[in-house]
Homo-oligomer: A and B are copies of this chain.
Amino acid sequence: KHILVLPGDGIGPEVARIAVDCLKAAASAEGVSLTFDEAPFGGAGLDACGKPLPEETLDKARSADAVFLGAVGGPKWDDAPERPEKGLLALRSELGLFANLRPVKVFAGLEGLSPLKADRVAGADLLIVRELTGGLYFGEKREGRETASDLCTYSADEVARIARVAFRAASGRRGKLTSVDKANVLATSRLWRSTVNQLAPEYQDVTLDHMYVDATAMKLVTHPSAFDVILTENLFGDILSDEAAVIAGSLGLLGSASLGEGGPGLFEPIHGSAPDIAGQDKANPSGAIASAAMLLRFGLGEARAADRIEAALQAQLKSGRTTADIGGSLGCRAFGAEVCERLA
């Protein structure tokens, strides 16, 4: 199995290196054979080839079995001809990565990191399934000096394929699916709701309910443990998944998977490129390690190797030997090395 690594910008290369070390250690322990290649992307793509998604990088991504991304962006490219993030949107679209999975879970021993009171956050363990290649992000844009517009469109097929991902995920978890929309205002939300409702009878083991996006933004703060799987469209998913992420206590701990149909998936920590601490061995590689586990599970179908990484990460976090952002005193490399030892 061949993995393309896009180290990207800021702390991206540091955390990607740890993720690769963990992938190698877990793969060798489970007898899985992996090969790796690297390519420039984001700001690094702009620096190397003048484009955030160079053609060669895209070609390499297409022919890989999975793609791992560190992080993109930073003020260095504020005046670049294109934004580094454009590369990310293009990559999602080119690889047809319509399903973004963002699990949010409070790690045992780290409940204290949450901004929420302990009794509010206790038991929170949810998965956000975000549609990633439609909606306002990719609709027609008009940009004049006096007016501008963005079009939000969805087809029933686009809704159905992401909804199926969410139904299946719920069926493998606690069987509860909350579809989030703004059907009291938006036409696309009404299509969303009716399409999701039509699929429900096919998933008898899943209980479906619907919630408005504003109510969901509230409930994530007041009662996050009420959710199992949340299904929503692109822009709502962008907002709600970040809101949900901080509830777990630290952005540095969480990973994500973006999946298409058949082709390679993209796996990346949810934190940004954090240019202020780049190159200082301060970054928390936990999110990258969690993403490496998702790569094995959802990208390569190697569930045992994925379980191994997740168990090692959890044990390491529980030991208290962590990076400074979550109360420990290890650097990025030392933390990564200790997790790798546990993987052997």
**Cα A160 to Cα B240 with chains together (Å):** 28
Choose among B152, B218, B251 the residue that contacts A243 (Cβ–Cβ < 8 A). Answer: B218
List the B side residues contacting A242 at CB < 8 Å. 214-215, 217-218
**Cα A83 to Cα B189 with chains together (Å):** 15
Q: Report A79-97 residues with CB < 8 Å from chain B CB.
A: 83, 85, 89
Question: Residues 230-257 of chain A: 1 if any B CB is under 8 Å from the residue's CB, otherwise 0?
Answer: 0000011011111101110001000000
Which 4 residue pairs spanning A and B have beta carbons closest together? A148-B191, A141-B187, A217-B243, A149-B153
Given contacts A120-B115, A147-B153, A152-B152, contact A142 B187 (CB under 8 A): yes
**Cα A167 to Cα B218 with chains together (Å):** 27
Given contacts A185-B89, A185-B137, contact A214 B238 (CB under 8 A): yes
List the B side residues contacting A136 at CB < 8 Å. 136, 152, 185-186
Given contacts A117-B116, A141-B187, A186-B136, contact A218 B245 (CB under 8 A): yes
**Cα A217 to Cα B142 with chains together (Å):** 27
**A337 adjacent to chain B (CB < 8 Å):** no
Given contacts A218-B243, A221-B115, A235-B182, contact A188 B149 (CB under 8 A): yes
Question: Residues 202-218 of chain A: 1 if any B CB is under 8 Å from the residue's CB, otherwise 0?
Answer: 00000000000111011
List the B side residues contacting A245 at CB < 8 Å. 218
Choose among B146, B186, B187, B213 the residue that contacts A156 (Cβ–Cβ < 8 A). Answer: B146
- From A142, which residue of chain B is reached at the shortest CB distance? B187
- From A249, which residue of chain B is reached at the shortest CB distance? B222
Say yes or no: A191 contacts B153, CB within 8 Å. Answer: no
Q: How many copies does the complex hold?
A: 2
**Cα A242 to Cα B221 with chains together (Å):** 10
Q: Report A107-140 residues with CB < 8 Å from chain B CB.
A: 115-117, 120, 136-137, 139
**A150 adjacent to chain B (CB < 8 Å):** yes
- From A250, which residue of chain B is reached at the shortest CB distance? B222
- From A141, which residue of chain B is reached at the shortest CB distance? B187
**Cα A191 to Cα B143 with chains together (Å):** 8
- Residue of A190, A191, A236 with most partner-chain B CB within 10 A: A191
Say yes or no: B222 contacts A149, CB within 8 Å. Answer: no
- From A154, which residue of chain B is reached at the shortest CB distance? B148
- Residue of A120, A141, A235, A240 with most partner-chain B CB within 10 A: A235
Given contacts A149-B152, A217-B240, A239-B213, contact A187 B143 (CB under 8 A): yes
**Cα A149 to Cα B215 with chains together (Å):** 22
**A319 adjacent to chain B (CB < 8 Å):** no
- From A118, which residue of chain B is reached at the shortest CB distance? B117
List the B side residues contacting A145 at CB < 8 Å. 156
**A329 adjacent to chain B (CB < 8 Å):** no
**Cα A246 to Cα B219 with chains together (Å):** 9
**A151 adjacent to chain B (CB < 8 Å):** yes
